[in-house]
């Protein structure tokens, strides 16, 4: 009952906050950026081995699992723009189509199946004529069926299907004036779409830079990715210094990358792209881009969780033309992560409910979407950005140091759960009442079942391994599904001595 009450209290608070900042107005435009974590089709022709359609394993990718994930994506989008979904949607991690014979466009696919919903089509054995349908067609079909109508989709170029598994996309209902593709090194092509908003142009960029935010080696690749983007932004601003630019997506960098990783002498996001958080610099011309993460309190700067730490890999960065108090402008206070406990977030502790293919599948993504609103001002107004720049040097902890153990399940309960129930528990933090079993990769016996323990921090791993084999323990662990097996991740020293 406590968990249920917590869910409703958090959900109501989220909806109240959304109502305060996203009340529908005819001259408003909502923009969302969302990494949907490997949204794949069903042709079984891909670069990832996680999407096997044949076979009978618990991790098998099925039509029903795709339908479930599409439905949850639609559910998240419906919380935007009074249920209509965002006017512009920047997407990451759509599968690049690896089926040479599939040529059907999303609009044609929707028209061909007007009489049947996507859930009906994705039920049971998939007919041969549907096996090669690309994921963008399934996505648009699902959105149309869920009442999120009128989207046109622009996909990022794929230069080498032998190397590129996923790509970016931009969906929009607004008139499209132009499209450009910007190829980068070892990352997804940057998509640029110019749309028309109440007679004004807005340039929207979809990005998914090279992964490995904390790695100096991969930072050099992100620097190249950022250089390509910055060159194009400079072209646009040279033609019009007050051009309206929204630069978004998964940059695999934190807004405070330089402060968080001081060993990096040069960062892609801050030094090359020149994303920053001092609105005064926009007014003086010292800077031309503003990262909207600075428009929220530091504690609310969270789009993803990794090994017990909050990150801000997802971004919406705006040009000074969107913050000058004239024409099309950012709506103050409208930016933030879309956190919906029970839909895209776990109830307690709140963290992204990432996708799992275990059993019938559950969850959605390892990233929260982020969104912001923009409005055409009828007359000059005050500038929308006034918050002082603040860049904390350390990551925020994703989990409270002292978890309320009354809100956690005992891992012994997993033995009695069905595959459907177990799938919904993956990602939750459990109380581990069991016997430490040692091993090169430590394990724990809970009841009659043995689980692997994944301890990402080397210092903490040494402390875990120092535990005597056969010793009874009462630890905490986050349930994961990895390479076909259930395991528990221990990410904090407090978890091996919970209070």
Per-residue pLDDT at 93 exceeds 50: yes
Angle at 110 between CA 104 and CA 111, to 5 degrees: 95
Per residue in 239-279, pLDDT (tens digit) is: 999 999 999 999 999 999 999 999 999 999 999 999 999 99
Measured distance between the N- and C-terminal CA atoms of the chain, rounded to whole angstroms: 22
How is residue 460 written in tokens? 């903490």
CATH architecture designation of domain 405-496 = Beta Barrel (2.40)
Average of per-residue pLDDT values in the chain? 93
| pLDDT of amino acid 356 | 95
User: What is the percentage of the chain residues whose pLDDT exceeds 90?
Assistant: 87
Is residue 2 exposed (0-12), middle (13-18) or buried (19+ Cβ within 10 Å)? exposed
Backbone angles phi, psi at 223, to 5 degrees: -60, -40
- The confidence band for 17, taking pLDDT boundaries of 50, 70 and 90, is very low
Band of pLDDT at residue 297, cut at 50, 70 and 90: very high
Confidence of residue 76 (pLDDT cuts 50, 70, 90): very high
Provide the pLDDT confidence category of residue 238 given band limits of 50, 70 and 90.
very high
Neighbouring CB atoms inside 10 A of 30's CB total 21
Residue 53 has a pLDDT of 85
Q: Given a cut of 60, is residue 13 above it in pLDDT?
A: no
**CATH architecture entry for 2-376:** 4-Layer Sandwich (3.60)
Q: In angstroms, rounded to a whole number, what is the distance separating the alpha carbons of residues 481 and 448?
A: 19
Predicted confidence band at 8 (pLDDT cuts at 50, 70, 90)? very low
| CA atoms in the 13 A half-sphere facing the CB of 407 | 17
pLDDT of residue 26: 62
HEC string for 399-423: CCCCCCHHHCEEHHHHHHCCHHHHH
Q: Of 135-139, 266-270, 398-402, give the lowest mean pLDDT range.
A: 398-402
CA distance linking residue 122 with residue 334, whole number of Å: 36
- Residue 499 pLDDT: 63
pLDDT attached to residue 1: 36
Mean pLDDT calculated for residue range 66-92: 98
- Average pLDDT value for residue range 318-329: 97
Neighbouring residues of 299: CB distance < 8 A, sequence distance ≥ 6: 396
Element (H, E) at 318: strand 314-319
Domain boundaries, the chain: 2-376, 405-496
DSSP 8-state code for residue 341:
B
Residue environment code for 412-428, b if the CB has 16+ CB neighbours within 10 A, otherwise e: bebeeeeeeebbbbbbb
For residue 224, the model assigns a pLDDT of: 98
Res 11 pLDDT > 90: no
For 45-61, how does the pLDDT look when each residue is reduced to its tens digit (9 = 90+)?
889 888 988 777 777 89
443-496: pLDDT as tens digits: 999 999 999 999 999 999 999 999 999 999 999 999 999 988 999 999 999 999
Paired strand residues for 367: 304
Average pLDDT over residues 311-330: 98
CA distance 381 to 324: 8
**Residue from 447, 440, 448, 446 nearest 477 by CA:** 446
pLDDT (0 to 100) of residue 179:
98
Average pLDDT over residues 180-206: 98
**3-state DSSP assignment of residue 424:** helix
Three-state secondary-structure class, residue 301: coil
Specify the pLDDT at position 332: 97
Band of pLDDT at residue 128, cut at 50, 70 and 90? confident
């Amino acid at each position: 009952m406590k968990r249920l009450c917590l869910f409703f209290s958090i959900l109501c608070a989220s909806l109240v906050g959304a109502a305060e900042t996203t009340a529908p107005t005819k001259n408003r435009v909502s923009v969302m950026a969302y990494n949907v974590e490997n949204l794949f089709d069903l042709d079984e022709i891909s670069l990832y081995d996680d999407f096997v359609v044949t076979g009978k394993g618990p991790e098998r990718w099925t039509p029903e699992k795709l339908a479930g994930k599409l439905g949850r994506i639609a559910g998240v989008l419906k919380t935007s723009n009074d249920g209509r979904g965002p006017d512009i949607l920047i997407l990451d991690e759509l599968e690049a189509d690896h089926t040479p014979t599939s040529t059907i466009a999303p609009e044609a696919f929707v028209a061909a199946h007007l009489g049947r919903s996507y859930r009906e089509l994705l039920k049971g054995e998939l007919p041969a004529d549907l096996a090669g349908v690309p994921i963008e067609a399934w996505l648009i079909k699902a959105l149309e069926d869920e009442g999120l109508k009128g989207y046109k989709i622009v996909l990022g170029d794929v230069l080498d299907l032998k190397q590129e598994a996923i790509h970016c996309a931009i969906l929009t209902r607004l008139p499209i004036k132009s499209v450009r593709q910007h190829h980068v090194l070892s990352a997804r092509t940057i998509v640029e779409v110019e749309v028309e908003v109440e007679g004004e142009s807005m340039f929207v960029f979809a990005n998914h830079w090279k992964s490995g935010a904390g790695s100096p080696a991969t930072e050099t690749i992100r620097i190249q990715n950022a250089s390509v983007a910055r060159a194009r932004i400079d072209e646009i601003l040279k033609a019009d210094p007050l051009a309206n630019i929204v630069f978004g997506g998964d940059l695999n960098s934190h807004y405070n990358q330089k402060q968080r990783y001081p060993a990096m002498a040069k960062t892609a996001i801050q030094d090359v792209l020149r994303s920053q958080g001092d609105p005064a610099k926009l007014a003086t011309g010292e800077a031309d881009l503003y990262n909207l993460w600075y428009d929220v309190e530091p504690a609310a700067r969270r789009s993803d969780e990794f090994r017990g730490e909050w990150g801000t890999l997802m971004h919406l960065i705006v040009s000074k033309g969107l913050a000058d108090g004239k024409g099309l402008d950012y709506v103050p206070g409208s930016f933030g992560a879309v956190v919906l406990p029970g839909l895209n977030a776990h109830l307690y502790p709140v963290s992204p409910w990432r996708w799992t293919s275990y059993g019938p599948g559950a969850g959605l993504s390892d990233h929260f979407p982020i969104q912001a609103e923009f409005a055409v001002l009828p007359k000059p107004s005050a500038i929308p950005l006034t918050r002082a720049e603040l860049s904390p040097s350390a990551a925020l902890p994703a989990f409270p140091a002292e978890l309320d153990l009354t809100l956690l399940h005992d891992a012994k309960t997993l033995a009695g759960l069905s595959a459907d129930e177990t799938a919904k528990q993956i990602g939750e933090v459990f109380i581990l009442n069991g016997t430490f079993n040692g091993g090169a990769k430590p394990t724990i016996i809970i009841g009659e079942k043995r689980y692997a323990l994944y301890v990402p921090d080397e210092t903490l791993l040494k402390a875990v391994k120092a535990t005597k084999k056969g010793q009874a323990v009462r630890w905490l662990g986050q349930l994961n599904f990895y390479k076909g097996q259930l395991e528990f991740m221990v990410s904090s020293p407090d978890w091996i001595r919970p209070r």
